[in-house]
Amino acid sequence: MTTITRRELLLQGSACIVGFSWLGSVPQAHAQTAPQPARGALPLNQLDSFLALQKDGSLVIYSGKVDLGTGHRIAIRQMVGEELSLPVSRIEMIEGDSALTPNQGPTAGSSGVMRGGVELRQAAASMREGLFALAAQRFGTSAAALTLENGRIASSDGRSIDAVELSGGQPLRLPMNAKAPLKSPSRYTQVGQSLPRPDIPAKVTGRHVYVHDFALPGLLHARIVRPPTLGATLQSVDESSVSHLPGVQVVRMKNFLAVASADEWAAVRGARELKAQWNGGEALTSHEGVIDWMRKGPFAADEDLVNKGDATRVDALHDAPDLLKSTYYWPLQSHASMGPSCAVADVRTDGATVWTASQASHRLVGACAAALGLDAAKVRTIYLDGAGCYGMNGHDDASVEAAMLSKALGKPVRVQWSREEELGWDPKGPPQLLELSARLTPGGRVDAWFTEMWLPRATANLAWIPLLSPAAAGLQQPTGQSTGLISQNGDPPYGTGAVRVRVHWIDGSPLRPSNIRAPGKVGNCFAVESFVDELAARAKADPIAFRLQDLANPRGREVIERLARLMQWRARASPSPDLGKASPARGRGMAYVHYKHSETLVAMGTEVEVDRSTGAVRVLRVACVQDCGLMINPNAVRAQVEGNIVQTLSRTLYEETTFDRSRVTSVDWARYPLLRFPEVPSLDVELVQRIDQPPLGAGEAAAAPVPAALANAIFDATGARLRTVPFTRERVKALLA
C-alpha cells in the first residue's frame, strides 16, 4: 500500500483529523482512534504528497511547514491557488500533521514561504502540467491549447472539462516535476495581493482552537514539578501532601515528577503543594559571569569563517596605532511566549498521537517515539497553534512530557506549563560575545576589519534538542546542543578590503540553548553595524554616506537610499551638533543588513530621546525599508516587519534572562519585562515589491538591524556608545555619568 493510500485511509475517518477550514480551525477529534496503519514518510518527489484535488473540485494543501501567526496559511494558498487558478476560498490546508503532510523540515529560519511555499508552488505547477497532459489526451489536442480557470480546463476549440473529472478525485500518482513551468508573474492575480488571513476572525472572537484549548474525553490535566536547582536529584516525595486534593495522582520517574487530575485546578494546586525533597544539582555561572565564562572556554575549536582580501592587513591591525577596537555582548534571552507551553497526548498500546505547537512537528516524532519506546511509525504528531514562540520554546518539552504522562496514566493527558516554567525552563537564546577591530585608510574608508566571536557551539547532526523530562527520567536522549546558525553576518555587508571573522567555539552553554528569532544575526548585526557607526564617527562621515561608499549591491543601495528619504535624513556626522544642548537629548541612527549576505535586505532607522538624568531611552519613531524579493502577501509581510521591529526593541531595551548559581531568576513579567504599549513608537515601513524575483524570508531579517539602529541613535543623541544589551535605564545612566 502506498503512503498516499494510507493517508487517504486516515482521512476517511480511521483517525484524528485536524484540518484548517477557511473560517477558522475546526479540529475534529475522534476519541475512538482506530489502530493506525503503519506508515512511512510521504515522499517529497510525489505531488500527491503535497496536494489533493477533492471530488467537489476544491483542493487540499498538505503543508509540512506551519503557520506560527505569520500568515503562512494565506500566503501558501495564494502561491498554490495562483498556479492552479483557484481562489483561496476553495483551498483547504492541513499543516504539520506527521501522518498527513510531507516532512518539509522545521518552520524556522524564515523558510516558510522561501522554501516550503516554493516547494508547494512547484507541486501546483506539476499538478497543472499533469492535468493538462490528461486533458490533452482526452481531447486529442496539444497541452499548449489548454487553459485552467477555477478548476475547469478549457481547450481553445471550445471544449472543457472539470479537473476533478480527469482525476476522478483520486491521487494523480505523478512525480514532482522541478521543471514544470511556473505562471508568468505578469499574469498574477492572487500573488502580490494583501488577502486577509483566514485565522484572524476566529482568533479575535475566541473561537480559534489553540493547542491549549484542545481536549479529549477522559483528559487528565498535568503539571510538572520542577526541581529547585537545575539538575537536582529527587530524594523523596510525600504523596500524602496532596491527598486532600480531588483526583490528584503523582507520577515519578527517577527525577521527573508530575501531578495529574481530571480537575485542572487540582493539578495546579497539586504541583504547588506536593512536598518533595531534592538534593544537589549543577552549579551555574550566574548571568553576571557569562562574559568571563565565554572568554575562558572550554573551547571546542577555533574557526575562520571569512578570510577576504589581504590577510597581512588584518594581521597588521594588531599593533596599529590608530586601531579602533570594541567589545559587544548579547545576553541570554527567553522566547518569552505569551502562552506557556502546552501539549496534549493520547498514548495507547498500539500507537500515540500528540497534539503540539512545535515548530518541528515532524522532528518531534523521533523524540516522542524514543521517550515512549515506540516505533516512530506508531507516533503521530498533529500541529495546533500555540502562542508565538519565535524559535524552540518549551513546546517540544511539553509535548514529550504529555506523551510520557499519557503512557504512565493510561489516559489522554494535557500538560500546561506555568509562567515560571516558561521563562525559567524554555531553552534560551544563547549569549554572544564579539570583539571587533578595524582601522581606516587616510581617505576614511575601512582598511582592514577583524571580528572575533565567542559563541556556544552547536552539535553537528543533532537528532533533536535534548529535552528536560526524558533527561530527568533517565531515558535515552541525544547529547549535545543546538543554537541555530548564530555565526552569520559577523562581517560587514560592504566591500571592505580585508576582512577576517574568527569564531572561538565554546563547548556547552550557561543554560540549555536553542534557536531564537534571527539566530545570532541580531547580536552580530548589533555589533557589526554599531562598529561601522563607530568607524563613521571616527572618519567624521555621515553614517549613510560612509556605508554607501563601499556598497555595490544595487538592492542594498536602494533600501538605504529610500530609508534616507523616508527619514528626511540630513547628511552629517554623529554625534548630533545639538549634543549637550537639548534636553532630553535627541538623535537619529540607522543600520543595514543583507540577511545571511544572500537573502532579505533591510535598512532600519530610529529617532530617540534620551533622558540623561534617568537614563530612560524613548524611541519616538522607527522607519524601515525592506526588500524580501517577491512578496506573496504584502500586508502579511508588513505585519512581520512591524513585529520584528517591536519585538527586537523589546529584546534590546529590556530583556535578559538572569540566573544565580542554581536557577533562573527572571521568571515572571516583572523580572523579565517586555516592551509595553506606551513605549510603542510610530512605525513607518516601506516594502519593495520584486514581482519577478524569488521570494525571500520575511520572518526574521528586519529584527537584525534594530539594535544597532537604536544604539547608533543613542550615540547620536548623547555621544555615548552602548555595547551591551539590554539598554536598561541603569546601564544608560551609568554610561552617561
Partner 1 sequence: MTRYRLTVNGTEQQVEAWDGDMPLLYALRNALGLHAVKFGCGLGQCGACTVLVDGQPQRSCLLRLADAVDRQIVTAEGLGTPEKPHPVQAAFIAEQAAQCGYCTNGMVMSSVALLAGNPKPTREQTQAALAGNLCRCGSHDRVLKAVSRASGQGKAP
Q: Contact positions toward partner 1, by CB under 8 A?
A: 23-24, 68-70, 196-197, 199-210, 212-213, 246, 263-266, 268-269, 336-340, 385-388, 390, 416, 418-419, 635-636, 639, 642-647, 650, 668-670, 674, 676-678, 680, 682-683
Task: Please name the helix (run of DSSP H) or strand (run of DSSP E) that holds residue 461, with its range, or none.
Answer: none
* Residue 665 near residue 724 (C-beta atoms within 8 A): no
- For partner 1, which is the closer residue by CB, 69 or 431? 69
Backbone angles phi, psi at 689, to 5 degrees: -90, 125
Q: Which residue bears the cell 530583556?
A: 655
In 491-572, the DSSP E strands lie at: 498-506
CB of 70 to partner 1, least distance (A): 7
Q: Which residue bears the cell 504529555?
A: 402
Per the structure block, which three cell numbers stand in for 727?
539598554
Per the structure block, which three cell numbers stand in for 68?
506560527
Q: Would you say the C-alpha torsion 108, 112, 114, 119 has a positive or negative sign?
A: positive
CB of 354 to partner 1, least distance (A): 20
Please state, in angstroms and rounded to a whole number, the distance separating the CA atoms of residues 43 and 102. 7
Please state, in angstroms and rounded to a whole number, the distance separating the CA atoms of residues 448 and 668. 45
Nearest to 641, CA basis, from 517, 466, 725, 465: 517
- For partner 1, which is the closer residue by CB, 586 or 651? 651
Q: Which residues contact 310 (CB under 8 A, 6 or more apart)?
A: 448, 497, 498
* Residue 494 near residue 550 (C-beta atoms within 8 A): yes
CB of 678 to partner 1, least distance (A): 5
Nearest to 25, CA basis, from 203, 196, 152: 203
- For partner 1, which is the closer residue by CB, 489 or 633? 633
- For partner 1, which is the closer residue by CB, 388 or 490? 388
Q: Can you name the residues that pair with 53 across neighbouring β-strands?
A: 59
- For partner 1, which is the closer residue by CB, 136 or 202? 202
CB of 339 to partner 1, least distance (A): 5
- For partner 1, which is the closer residue by CB, 111 or 155? 111
In one-letter notation, the amino acid at residue 62 is Y
Distance of CA 734 to CAs 34, 611, 622, 660, 717, Å? 65, 12, 25, 23, 16
* Residue 264 near residue 256 (C-beta atoms within 8 A): no
Per the structure block, which three cell numbers stand in for 284?
551555574
Please state, in angstroms and rounded to a whole number, the distance separating the CA atoms of residues 229 and 552. 53
Nearest to 525, CA basis, from 448, 456, 590, 570: 590
Backbone angles phi, psi at 549, to 5 degrees: -65, -25
* Residue 383 near residue 119 (C-beta atoms within 8 A): no
The side-by-side arrangement of strands in the sheet containing 498-506 is 299-308, 498-506, 446-456, 432-440, 324-330
Would you call 495 exposed, middle or buried from its count of C-beta atoms within 10 A (0-12, 13-18, 19+)? middle
CB of 329 to partner 1, least distance (A): 23
- For partner 1, which is the closer residue by CB, 437 or 640? 640
- For partner 1, which is the closer residue by CB, 284 or 617? 617
- For partner 1, which is the closer residue by CB, 263 or 550? 263
Please state, in angstroms and rounded to a whole number, the distance separating the CA atoms of residues 245 and 346. 24
- For partner 1, which is the closer residue by CB, 9 or 202? 202
CB of 381 to partner 1, least distance (A): 19
Please state, in angstroms and rounded to a whole number, the distance separating the CA atoms of residues 665 and 172. 56
- Total residue count of the chain as it appears in this document: 737
CB of 215 to partner 1, least distance (A): 8
CB of 332 to partner 1, least distance (A): 17
- For partner 1, which is the closer residue by CB, 37 or 673? 673
* Residue 328 near residue 526 (C-beta atoms within 8 A): yes
CA atoms in the 13 A half-sphere facing the CB of 67: 25
Nearest to 394, CA basis, from 472, 326, 339: 339
CB of 245 to partner 1, least distance (A): 9
Angle at alpha carbon of residue 494, lines to 489 and 496, rounded to 5°:
105
CB of 286 to partner 1, least distance (A): 24
- For partner 1, which is the closer residue by CB, 208 or 378? 208
- For partner 1, which is the closer residue by CB, 224 or 284? 224
Nearest to 123, CA basis, from 154, 186, 81, 169: 81
CB of 712 to partner 1, least distance (A): 21
Nearest to 335, CA basis, from 498, 174, 513: 513
- For partner 1, which is the closer residue by CB, 96 or 351? 96
CB of 166 to partner 1, least distance (A): 35
CA 236 to chain centroid, in Å, comes to: 39
- For partner 1, which is the closer residue by CB, 2 or 193? 193
**Cis-peptide into 298, omega within 30 deg:** yes
CB of 203 to partner 1, least distance (A): 3
Backbone angles phi, psi at 318, to 5 degrees: -40, -50
CB of 412 to partner 1, least distance (A): 14
- For partner 1, which is the closer residue by CB, 210 or 505? 210
Q: Percent helix, strand and coil across the chain, each rounded to 5?
A: 30, 25, 45
- For partner 1, which is the closer residue by CB, 593 or 636? 636
CB of 210 to partner 1, least distance (A): 7
CB of 23 to partner 1, least distance (A): 5
CB of 310 to partner 1, least distance (A): 43
